[in-house]
Structure 1
Amino acid sequence: MTIRKKSSTQKVGVLPEKVKHQFEFLQEELNIYFRNKSLLYQAFTHSSYVNEHRRKLFTDNERLEFLGDAVLELSVSKYLFERYPHMSEGELTKLRASIVCEPSLVIFANELNFGKYVLLGKGEELTGGRERPALLADVFESFIGALYLDQALDSVVEFLERIVFPKVEVGAFSHVMDFKSQLQEMVQQSNNGVLHYEIVDEKGPAHNRTFVSRVLLNDQELGIGRGKSKKEAEQQAAQNAMISLNQSRAKEE
């Protein structure tokens, strides 16, 4: 006697063609194409939408958000660990926290227009849910989770290399990154001499000025930085100096 197993395939809600077309456009904009599009749809499905379509068996993005949070933290941790070898554990933790916090995730989501694609219930829509910071941050994490499941960690890292990591490079999180102290520590460890910073140029009108700073070690220029304030320019100069010193040491090894 042959026993037939019941199919484990679960019926899922079918999105309107107009909505599917919007997600096709999103994939083109991101240059990321999901193999399993249901993961993409789920990443943008809010619980309010599920509650209004109970009979269609949609799944909200809360589980993907849980996964995406962990994947994002791991990816950012690895990037910072490799990018800033002279940062202490405490400094790395503080910087990571500023990158993966809700305000930062909202910025990333808004730049990608993620709010436009969220599937919301009518009540949530009417109360401005599409612009709600917590919702946008959750959607960004859900997208990360969906991308990880669909295409593995390398694709997540490639995405972050385009969207998140460049902001770290240009000092968007400089308020928690003290490159001057790190550079000073590097120099002291090597007994290389005395650091000196100087502003070499100021550009633009008073209300929108850009400062150019350089850092010198025993009168030898190590790096140049630019910023909207003298402090920011000096931090950028210190960061570039650290990059230069690390590259020189790598060549010597």
Structure 2
Amino acid sequence: MESFVLPPPATVMLVSGRKALMPNISPEALPPLPEIQSEEIRLQVYTHRSYAARPTHRFEDLPDDPSPDNEKYEHLGDSVLSMVVTELINDIYPYIRVGPSTKIRSLVVGNPTLASISVHYGLPEDLRMHPAQAITLRHSQNVQADLFEAFVGGLYLDQGLDAVKSWLCPLFHPYVVEGYGQVRIQHCLPPESDLPPVFPTLNAALPMSSRYAANMGHLSLFNQHLQQQAKSIEWVFSDSVGQGTRTTPIWVVRAMVDERCIGSGRGSTKKAAKNEAAKEGLRNMGIIVSLFRPPLRMPPLRLSRIVRTIGRLGRR
């Protein structure tokens, strides 16, 4: 099959404003496209639903007249691809948590990335469809991505899971690495895990200062502004091993809004750490926050003084 050059990142626009993962690799480095042995499966993999113009409102096809399009293969391929990529992520990064792993998988198997790979292999060139929609469908990102998933599903039915993994694992390895770096950046971490930690200079021996304790109103103000903007926030607590003591631990947190860190903080309690992160987030949002001053402390009244005062009032 003719070789296709991966398009440059600027030309691959994604749904929801995202872009396809573009690892720094040459097209020749990607594994060759496997060959589906079954002619029946191969033909159906490359058949768009517009080709037969079947009605879409049917609950199921007749036993003697199944639909000839690739939607069932695409549905199956989506599940197989997700499973293989999830396993690949865990093999490459065995200690990654589920949340970041899910974000990496979303980037790797998202339509923009799959569409760019589909175009690289030239899959849309062999797509059978209604002639009147040929130009539109061949250049549709969703159709390109669906066709790749249909090919995965067809290969799975034709040759089994081992054949699929032997192709997809080397194919998606650089994409997983690229996605890993992007998700680390979203979490305010360096792209590479062997770089210094995000908070290398924290002094865990210092207790929370009185000024720090007096400024606990930033968190509520921060939440209020986010609610007004219909924004949701994710609090990501970092590993604080080596910080603080067993009796006075130090909590480190990042405030994530739209998958972007807008503030970080630390404190002897989770709430105090979140408040510090909220204060930094307010500054980054352009909101000027004045420091809250602690109330004046009144000298304590002695019990003997209180008794004398009550006695004088009783004699009046």
Normalising by the residue count of structure 1, what TM-score does the alignment of the two structures yield? Answer: 0.56
Equivalent of 2:128, from 106, 119, 122?
Answer: 119
Aligned residues: percent identity? 27
Distance (Å, rounded) in 1 between the aligned partners of 2:70 and 2:119? 18
Pair 1:79 & 2:81 matched: no
Distance (Å, rounded) in 2 between the aligned partners of 1:136 and 1:173? 24
Q: How many residues align?
A: 160
Q: Structure 2: 5+ residue runs without aligned partners?
A: 3-30, 55-64, 201-238, 243-316
User: Rg: which structure is higher?
Assistant: 2
Q: Structure 1: 5+ residue runs without aligned partners?
A: 1-24, 192-253
Note the C-alpha offset of 1:35: 2.6
Distance (Å, rounded) in 1 between the aligned partners of 2:127 and 2:171? 19
Pair 1:42 & 2:51 matched: no
SS at match of 1:110: helix
Q: Which amino acid aligns with 2:53?
A: N
Note the C-alpha offset of 1:64: 0.4
Q: 2:167 maps to what in 1?
A: 159
SS at match of 2:44: helix
Q: Which amino acid aligns with 1:34?
A: I
Q: 2:100 maps to what in 1?
A: 91
Equivalent of 1:108, from 101, 117, 137?
Answer: 117
Distance (Å, rounded) in 1 between the aligned partners of 2:128 and 2:34? 20
Do the aligned residues in 1 keep the contact of 2:84 with 2:169 (CA within 8 Å)?
no
Looking at secondary structure, tell me which structure has more helix per residue: 1
Distance (Å, rounded) in 2 between the aligned partners of 1:64 and 1:152? 13
Q: Which amino acid aligns with 1:81?
A: N
CA 1:115 to 1:176, structure 2 compared with 1: closer, same or farther past 3 Å?
Answer: same
Distance (Å, rounded) in 2 between the aligned partners of 1:70 and 1:31? 20
Distance (Å, rounded) in 2 between the aligned partners of 1:75 and 1:57? 29
SS at match of 1:87: coil
Q: 1:226 maps to what in 2?
A: none
TM-superposition CA deviations, 1:84-119 (whole Å, max 9, x none): 012111010110111111111111111111111111
Do the aligned residues in 2 keep the contact of 1:98 with 1:173 (CA within 8 Å)?
no
Do the aligned residues in 2 keep the contact of 1:108 with 1:163 (CA within 8 Å)?
no
SS at match of 2:94: coil
Distance (Å, rounded) in 2 between the aligned partners of 1:34 and 1:71? 16
Do the aligned residues in 2 keep the contact of 1:43 with 1:64 (CA within 8 Å)?
yes
Q: Which amino acid aligns with 1:140?
A: F
TM-superposition CA deviations, 1:132-174 (whole Å, max 9, x none): 11100100000000001111111111211343223333x2663
Do the aligned residues in 2 keep the contact of 1:87 with 1:182 (CA within 8 Å)?
no
Note the C-alpha offset of 1:33: 2.8
CA 1:49 to 1:173, structure 2 compared with 1: closer, same or farther past 3 Å?
Answer: farther
